[in-house]
Amino acid sequence: MRPIRRTDAPAWAAGSLLDTLDAVDRDALLRLGTRRRYADQDVLMTAGAVGDAVYMLLDGLVLIVGETEDGEGSALAIRAAGEVVGELAVLDGSPRSATVRAAGPVVALRIAPTSFIAFLHSHPAAQLQVLRSVARKLRSATQRRIETSGCDARRRLARVLYELAAEYGRRRPDGSLLLELSLSQRALGSLAGVSVSTTERVLAALRAEGLLATGYRQLVVLDPVRLTDLCGY
């Protein structure tokens, strides 16, 4: 079970690339590229496109979306400030494997492939941290697959909600956790491997039970302890 992140923690997500780089390498990386601002739902990169840039997230959250036959897309993961996205297509020369969309206001550095590769060549310690970053993402995807299999939809969604709240939520004075994130019910269901209709039904039940409140671009976990119990950890 992931511990709830402290509200006084550094701006970078714990374990993210910027969090793990030493000060010299981090400063060198942050001097690269062009700072860009993205509004909610803006697309940073599209699945199938050429890897023409790496994006270093400085503020906000993005949603990683895989292509589906119905064209709606399936949410695969969320990435936060301090993390890098788009690096795989730049490193191996393959087309983008997923679309990346802003889940609220986002600030990112757009770094040209040549600049990113040159940075890795001149900063050997950073090469290792980039590899570790990729490994963490793969391990996280595997862990979510394990945690959302073999249990019912209610527990699957509870585990995704807890993970999001623990990682990105802000604890309020009353002990509840505020999650400010532009995430549709379809995307939330995709993260848990649950249909939209089932997601709607489970969220309605959690609201009725006093565990959850929802509003425009936000979720509030009203009772983190009960949500943890529901997760079955």
Q: Distance of alpha carbon 159 from its chain centroid, rounded?
A: 15
pLDDT of residue 6: 40
pLDDT of residue 165: 87
**Residue 232, token pair as written in the block:** 């079955």
The number of folded domains in the chain is 2
Q: Does some domain include residue 2? A: no
| Residues 218 and 164 occupy one common structural domain | yes
| Residues 125 and 176 occupy one common structural domain | no
Residue entry with tokens 């425009």: 216
Tell me which DSSP letter residue 96 carries.
P
CA proximity to 100, closest of 128, 117, 75, 122: 75
Share of the chain above pLDDT 70, in %: 92
Band of residue 99 on the pLDDT scale cut at 50, 70, 90? very high
Give the end-to-end CA distance of the chain in Å, rounded to a whole number: 6
CA proximity to 136, closest of 11, 219, 15: 15
49: phi then psi, degrees, rounded to nearest 5: -80, 165
| Residues 45 and 139 occupy one common structural domain | yes
- Residue range(s) defining the domain that contains residue 158: 152-231
Alpha helices in 123-193 (DSSP H): 124-147, 153-168, 185-192
Residue entry with tokens 């649950």: 194
pLDDT of residue 7: 41
Q: pLDDT tens digit string along 10-23?
A: 467 777 899 999 99
**Of residues 1 and 86, which shows the higher confidence score?**
86
Partners of 207 in the β-ladder: none
- State whether the Cα torsion 185-187-192-198 is positive or negative: positive
| pTM listed for this prediction | 0.82
| Domain end position, chosen among 111, 146, 181 | 146
| Residues 51 and 87 occupy one common structural domain | yes
74-80 sheet: strands from edge to edge: 43-45, 99-102, 61-66, 74-80
